[in-house]
Structure 1
Amino acid sequence: MFKRLCSTAVIFGAAALAPPVHAQPMTCLPRADLIEHLEGRYSEHLTGGGMQSPLQLLEIWASDQTGSFTVFVTRSDGLSCVIATGQNWQDTTPTDPEGVAG
């Protein structure tokens, strides 16, 4: 549980260190089009996400094959806006330390 919490803190902490949104060009398009592009061109699949607010869903898509990843928010009207992209995605699976009962 602690490792999952730390991983989540690192991911969202890194997002907080990104330049302000107004300094980056925001790419927004219908979610279906974005998913088709991520699956077809980058072999990415959904790896995690959650509700950012009652009207916004945050999703993280990544590829085990290419190491690429994409973070985007989908609004209630179906429009998805890319927040971040990158390379060398590391998928961490939480494990229980030896000798510790959970």
Structure 2
Amino acid sequence: MIRAAALLTLLASPAAATPTPIAEILCAPTKQMQQKLEQQFRSARTASGMRSPDQMMEVWTDKRGDWAMVVRYASGTSCIVAMGEHWEETENPT
């Protein structure tokens, strides 16, 4: 969870004077969010699916098993809505 807290700190706006609890939703411009996830945390988008015509759900994971669930909006903003550790791929039964 240390990496999750670090991500929250890096993406938090400079105006935020108090620490951001992980339970809060964290948003940033999509390009900025992707750069932090890819470059700083070595994560890759490993799954995605449409939630609505204006929203795409994405799962970002790294080799250690840390993960983040991101909602990407058509407006150009992305929000981390959940994050955790020990991500595990399961076999599709079909």
Q: Give TM-score, length-normalised by structure 1.
A: 0.64
Uncovered stretches (5+) of structure 2, i.e. residues with no partner = 1-22
Superposed CA deviations along residues 47-89 of structure 1, whole A, max 9, x for unmatched, are 11111011111111111x2211110111111100111011111
* Inter-CA distance 44–95: structure 2 relative to 1 (3 Å threshold): same
Q: Which residue of 1 aligns with 2:84?
A: 86
One-letter identity of the residue aligned with 1:62: T
C-alpha RMSD over aligned residues = 1.5
Percent identity over paired residues: 29
Superposition deviation, residue 28 in structure 1: 0.4
Q: Report SS of the residue matched to 2:32.
A: helix
Q: Runs of at least 4 residues of structure 1 off by over 6 A?
A: none
Q: Is 1:30–2:29 an aligned residue pair?
A: yes
Q: Give the unaligned 5+ runs of structure 1.
A: 1-23, 97-102
Give the paired residue count. 72
- For residues 91 and 34 of structure 2, the distance between their equivalents in structure 1, rounded to whole angstroms, comes to 24
Matches within 5 A, 1:15-54: 24-54=23-53
Is the radius of gyration larger for structure 1 or structure 2? 1
1:73 and 1:95, CA in 2 relative to 1: closer, same or farther beyond 3 A? same
Distance, in Å, in 1 between the alignment partners of 2:35 and 2:74 is 19
